[in-house]
Amino acid sequence: MSADAPGTSGKAEQRLCERLRLREHEEEVLLHAMHAGDAGRQAVVLSPRAPKDYEPPFSCASSEQFPWLPARVRIPEVGESPTRHADHAAGMYYVLDLSSCWEGSALSTLTQTPQRSLDLCAAPGGKTMLLAAQFELRDHTANEVNAARRGILRQNAELCGLPNTRITGLRPDQWGSSGELFDLVLVDAPCSGQSLLCKGIKNPGCLGSAAVQGNAKRQRGILLAAVRCVAPGGHLLYSTCTYAPEENERVMAYILRRVDGFTACEVPTLTAYQSALADFPAYRLLPHHGAGTGGFCCLLRRKGNNNII
């Protein structure tokens, strides 16, 4: 399951559970999910191309158990294969893990439609799709520095008919020094991707300290650039698909200490997921919650009045 020496992956798993302060039953569920690779659960985001009354051509589960679920997101019944339908090829909906929808649902606390928005690490496009499912895209930038991934992002944006969207490929530091301001910045950060194990995807070394610490350093750099792009009164949503506190709560604590003028926002629909590892509003999803492989999100607001027109 990792590139570590024989016998060390189990120790790394145990250290992770200890850092997460899991209860015994939570630890058992997480370890089972990491070994079984069966915790993934699909969701579909209805695209701007889909009519308002559109419903997917497959059976969907009730969303009542997920009060945080955005209105234009559906959960296929177990056994359904939404990517096999012609409507998927026609761009009527976008398929992603349900836990990604959970992360994006933090945007529900925004009371106004963002006038200018930036998805800083956008490929393959999931967070931009979730934004479009909750708000009208008015002046949106989907950025991806990797050329190959940027091509996939562009294809998905065109297929799903995203309006008022430009695709760019600048580095975070270039955005930070550009002088452009946005009233919403999304940072779905590159991470060690530990939750991929719960999908049955091999991810060698993801539990090791080198991967975790290396990603945490990169995330801090990305965020230090990203906060410079947030207009007064604007918001920044940070999310990852990994479990390590070093890449989640500790990164956000670092930013809140280092950068003046930002506060973490409470997200009422996610109160049940408040992280025990943070003394500020930050939310953590794990496989035992039954909503996919897991993730982390924290919404920041910059003090001041938003004057973007």
pLDDT of residue 2: 38
Question: What percent of the chain is predicted at pLDDT more than 90?
Answer: 94
Q: HEC string of the chain?
A: CCCCCCCHHHHHHHHHHHHHCCCHHHHHHHHHHHHHCCCCCEEEEECCCCCCCCCCCCCECCCCCCCCCCCCEECECCCCCHHHCHHHHCCCEEEEEHHHHHHHHHHHHCCCCCCCEEECCCCCCHHHHHHHHHCCCCCEEEECCCHHHHHHHHHHHHHCCCCCEEEECCCHHHHHCCCCCEEEEEEECCCCCHHHHHHCCCCCCCCCHHHHHHHHHHHHHHHHHHHHHEEEEEEEEEEECCCCHHHCHHHHHHHHHHCCCEEECCCHHHHHHECCCCCCCCEEECHHHCCCCCEEEEEEEECCCCCCC
Task: Give domain status of residue 133, yes or no.
Answer: yes
Stretch among 63-67, 172-176, 250-254, 297-301 having the lowest mean pLDDT: 63-67
Q: How many domains is the chain built from?
A: 1
Which residue among 17, 241, 297, 298 is the active-site one? 241
Task: Give domain status of residue 156, yes or no.
Answer: yes
Its domain, for residue 34, covers 8-302
pLDDT-derived band at 241 (thresholds 50, 70, 90) equals: very high
Question: Above 80 in pLDDT, residue 308?
Answer: no
Question: Above 70 in pLDDT, residue 57?
Answer: yes
Question: Above 80 in pLDDT, residue 309?
Answer: no
Span 30-53, pLDDT tens digits? 999 999 999 999 999 999 999 999
Question: Above 50 in pLDDT, residue 167?
Answer: yes
Q: Mean pLDDT across the chain, nearest whole number?
A: 94
Question: Above 50 in pLDDT, residue 93?
Answer: yes
pLDDT of residue 10: 86
Task: Give domain status of residue 307, yes or no.
Answer: no
Task: Give domain status of residue 146, yes or no.
Answer: yes
pLDDT of residue 305: 83
pLDDT of residue 307: 60
pLDDT of residue 4: 44
Task: Give domain status of residue 2, yes or no.
Answer: no
pLDDT-derived band at 110 (thresholds 50, 70, 90) equals: very high
Task: Give domain status of residue 205, yes or no.
Answer: yes
pLDDT-derived band at 3 (thresholds 50, 70, 90) equals: very low
Give the CATH number for residue 38.
3.40.50.150
Taking residues 86-100, report their average pLDDT. 97
Question: Above 50 in pLDDT, residue 6?
Answer: no
Question: Above 60 in pLDDT, residue 152?
Answer: yes
Does 297 qualify as catalytic in the annotation?
no
Taking residues 155-178, report their average pLDDT. 98
Question: Above 90 in pLDDT, residue 273?
Answer: yes
pLDDT-derived band at 74 (thresholds 50, 70, 90) equals: very high
Task: Give domain status of residue 1, yes or no.
Answer: no
Taking residues 211-238, report their average pLDDT. 98
